[in-house]
Every structure is written in structure tokens, then in C-alpha cells.
Structure 1
């Protein structure tokens, strides 16, 4: 049955060249939209100013076109819409749902390790006394804006109503109506003084602004849905359905990743592989 209201997206970060895993995810999203008679939007998630590079972004367009995929223009680039994310952060802050955290990553890790359950614990903090916070801000110390789970729970009257629909399958076989568990992530970072907005906040704002009705992505992001569902509730944003898919793995069983130098689509193309061959290899 055709559903022109079906809107999904493929949203790579241009921090390296795309590999088979990206191709599988892109084809899964684009083919789902085609089958539904809907649309798949391409979005460039380039908020990491250090790792994102123009040549990687250019390669995204080249690789997807080689795969035979088409998308609408203009393509939304997150780096061009920081004001949207800033507005969402201000709304949360004005409602007392965030706090400045001055702890370093090492201090956070040590705090978690010292908790009763060690690495199983998520980080929970709180705002510093106003006088100390003002002093540290004035001194130019780096900090992150964190979402206060305690304040969020009070604002919503608990997390019992936080649910989402999983149309695919989570890493533990989760399917159907899923209760969100934002406590798993603790007080997540929403922005940093020196880097700007973090992934969770940017993605929920973008999905709402672009009218995304279906989020199709890998199972490695299943737990990210918990905090994203919380942010949607706090910001009164619509909740899309989710469809998490399997991850491609290398012969050693590890999932394909840029950091492990997985063979790129550029390399496959250079070796003479055709898009049709790759599509068949990936099950399309």
C-alpha cells in the first residue's frame, strides 16, 4: 500500500569514506521509502568540526549516486543550522532541565567506576553552587551542558509514558511497543562550550523539522532511542516509528567501522566492482 506520508532519512557523518555497512544502511532506508511510496531524505550530520571534512562529504554524494540512489535538494547540513539546536537547548535550560558540568572525561569515568555497580552505572550530576559556577565560567573553564535526568523525570511526572514503536529489531530482539529507559544513558551531554551541540539534541530537532516519520538505522543506535524519546517528550516534538536493522560484520565478527579501516566504497569501485554486484551481495 502506498504511503506518501512515509518519510525516512539516511544521515551519515562525513568523518571518513563510506563502506559496505553504510551502503547497507542507505539501501535499507531508500528501498523502504521506495516500497512505501514515500521519501528518503539525505542529511549530512557534520557537527563534529574536528573530524568532518569536505572531501568526505563530497564522497558521500559520489558514493550514493554510484549506488543508484537519488535524493531531494537542498541537503540539510547540521553545521548550517546551529541556531535551531541552540534554541532547543535554551528552552531546556530555561526550564531548569540542564546544568553545566565542568568534569573532564577522565573525572566522569572515575566517578562511574567508583559507583556501587562500577561500569554498569551511568553518570548523574548536578549544577554547582551558583557562586562557584559563575567563578568557573568567568575563568573560562570548559564545560558541557548535560540533561538532568532527575529534573526531566520531575517535569514529566515520571518516565512511564515514554514509549516508542520498534518495527525492526533491537540487539536483544526487541520489537513492537518498547518502553524507553533514559536512565541507561544517565545525564547525557547536549552541548559543549567548545564544540557546540551534541548528536542526541541535533537529531531530534532535525527529525522534527524534516517531518521524519520512520527512523531506519543500525542496531548499534537502539539505546540512543531512549534519550531521544525523552528529548522529544520534553520539547513536545513528534515521535517517529523506529526500525533498527542488523549490522554488517567483518570475517572476524566485528562490525564494519571507519576506525578499523573497513574497505571503502571508493576502493570497491576502484577494484572494478559494479553497483549491481554490491547490491546483490548486500541482499538488494
Structure 2
């Protein structure tokens, strides 16, 4: 079971389309389903009209999802339940460190507030002081996994630091939401950008703490700007995908993913390109290093 999980903070660009194509083709090549989840847990970043723009772009590119679309804003109850379990297990603590204080600290969060634990759950909307976040306490263990593209990975949780599960504004953090949603949707394979590689050990730690199933990960090369090497993103001025050039966009994405397309590839339709890609998918051909935007 694969998935694509964009945030509705703007239209899709070539980097996000690359992730959509790779996750779709990978899921279908393994005879699986491809789910769509709108990751709107950070309500402040939602841009009006983005959801419809994303759906329209996917449909133009033949990337049709299976089942109902999931929205994180509908899932607060499941996040609350997970947070309550973690608190009862004494794996969560209140943190009142200000941003100014944290900026003075080099490296990961230093564990300043670790003593502020409680097994009594405090619902986010009623009693949580505005000056507090909730953090997951990372132990000394190593998190090892094999990325399907990048190979063996090993991280020391203590070196990454304790991470936020619920923010000062009472919104749930991405790390918690994505782990719970993947488990609830029975996702087994995550294909996404390499910018999220460093989040993976935190997410695996949460899976283990909550006794959730493990899953496979594949982290794709990022597309970067030619002039400064920055990741192509909405924040760095990435252009929206041109839906009128859908077949060419799919062709370019598959080429960037290292797939050996047939000689007549540029003359194929969107549907023909996707069928070919599913039949000939080779994840081991995907580059391990960043791609330069054309």
C-alpha cells in the first residue's frame, strides 16, 4: 500500500510531481493501491484553493488515487489517543523553552525540560498552557533501516534530540500525525523526498513506542535550483506544474527517476507512459544524488 501526501500550501511543482509519479508507479508495480492524503495538520499553512489545484493536477497526469481522500484535519481524535498512550508510558514531557532560548543552543534539543513528565493526560484544547509544547523523549538507541534507494541507514536518536508532538498553539506536529495516519491507512511503503530522510528515525521510534507496524522507506533525490542548489519548493519560488503538458511532465519525471524509456517515449500519451513505467519499474535505477531543475 503506497500513498502520496501533499500539504495544501500551494500548487504541485516538479519536485512534488516527481514524488507523486514515483510513489504511484511503485505501488502499482507491486499490485498495490495508491492512497491520497492531504496533510493539512498545520492549518496555518493551508492556502485556499490548493487542495483543488492538487487534485486537478494529479488527474491531468493520470495519477488516480484509490479510495477516499484522507484529510489530517479530520483526525484529531486519533492523534489525541496516541498522545495519551505515550504520556501514560512516560515517553512525553512538557517543554517551555522559548524559541529564543532554543536558538542559542547549537545541535539538537538538549533535554532541558525532560523532568516535566506526567502520566496524566491533558487534552490539548482545554488545559495545556500556551507556553508549553509536548515532546517525545528520545533514548540512547540506534535506529537502523534499509532505504530502498539509499541503502543502509543508521541514526542515533539521542543525537537527533527530543522532538515536538504537539505545538504551543495546540496543533499536532507532523511527526505524530504522519505516523498515526500511515498506520491507520495500512500504508506499507513510503516513497518520498530525501528531505524527509532525517525524520524517518523519529517516525520509526514512534512506531515502536506505539506498537505500530514497520514499513518500507524509499527516499527520492531532491530537485534543486541550478543557480543556488536550494531544494525546489514553494518557498523557493518553484513554478506550478503546467497541466497542458502532462505527457511531457510524466516523461521528464520518469527520466529523472532513471527509468530507461522506449525510443518512442516522447510520443506516448500519459496513460501509455504510466502503463510502460509500471511494467518496467526499476527502483534501483533511481539516482541517489540531487537533480538539477531544468
Instruction: Tell me the TM-score range normalised by the shorter chain.
Output: 0.7 to 0.9
From 2, 7, 15, the equivalent of 1:8 is 2
2:247 pairs with 1:276? yes
Deviation of 1:182 after TM superposition, in Å, equals 2.0
Q: How does 1:210-221 map to 2 (within 5 A)?
A: 210-221=185-196
Distance 1:138 1:18, change over 3 A: closer
Deviation of 1:221 after TM superposition, in Å, equals 0.7
Partners of 2:222 and 2:78 lie apart in 1 by 31
2:180 pairs with 1:205? yes
Give CA deviations for 1:218-254 in whole Å, capped at 9, x if unaligned: 1111110111111111110111011111111222232
Contact 1:17 1:60 in 2 (8 A): yes
Q: Which runs of 5+ in 1 are unaligned?
A: 1-6, 113-118, 170-174
Contact 1:217 1:244 in 2 (8 A): yes
Distance 1:42 1:94, change over 3 A: same
Contact 2:94 2:132 in 1 (8 A): yes
Give CA deviations for 1:97-124 in whole Å, capped at 9, x if unaligned: 11111111121111x1xxxxxx334432
Give CA deviations for 1:79-114 in whole Å, capped at 9, x if unaligned: 00111011000111112111111111121111x1xx
- Equivalent residue number for residue 145 of structure 1: 134
Partners of 1:37 and 1:167 lie apart in 2 by 17
- Equivalent residue number for residue 159 of structure 1: 141
Q: How does 1:35-114 map to 2 (within 5 A)?
A: 35-110=29-104, 112=105
Contact 1:180 1:229 in 2 (8 A): no
- Equivalent residue number for residue 3 of structure 1: none
Give CA deviations for 1:136-176 in whole Å, capped at 9, x if unaligned: x9894421001122xxx3xxxx525x43231111xxxxx14
Deviation of 1:25 after TM superposition, in Å, equals 0.5
Partners of 1:72 and 1:35 lie apart in 2 by 15
Q: Which runs of 5+ in 2 are unaligned?
A: 256-294
1:223 is paired with a residue whose SS is helix
- Equivalent residue number for residue 19 of structure 1: 13
Deviation of 1:23 after TM superposition, in Å, equals 0.5
2:234 pairs with 1:234? no
- Equivalent residue number for residue 116 of structure 1: none
Partners of 1:67 and 1:89 lie apart in 2 by 38
Deviation larger for 236-245 or 194-203: 194-203
Moved over 6 A (4+): none
Partners of 2:80 and 2:21 lie apart in 1 by 32
- Equivalent residue number for residue 123 of structure 1: 110
TM-score between the two structures when normalised by the length of structure 2: 0.78
TM-score between the two structures when normalised by the length of structure 1: 0.81
- Equivalent residue number for residue 231 of structure 2: 255
Distance 1:95 1:256, change over 3 A: same
2:240 pairs with 1:264? yes
Partners of 1:251 and 1:195 lie apart in 2 by 39
Deviation of 1:278 after TM superposition, in Å, equals 0.9
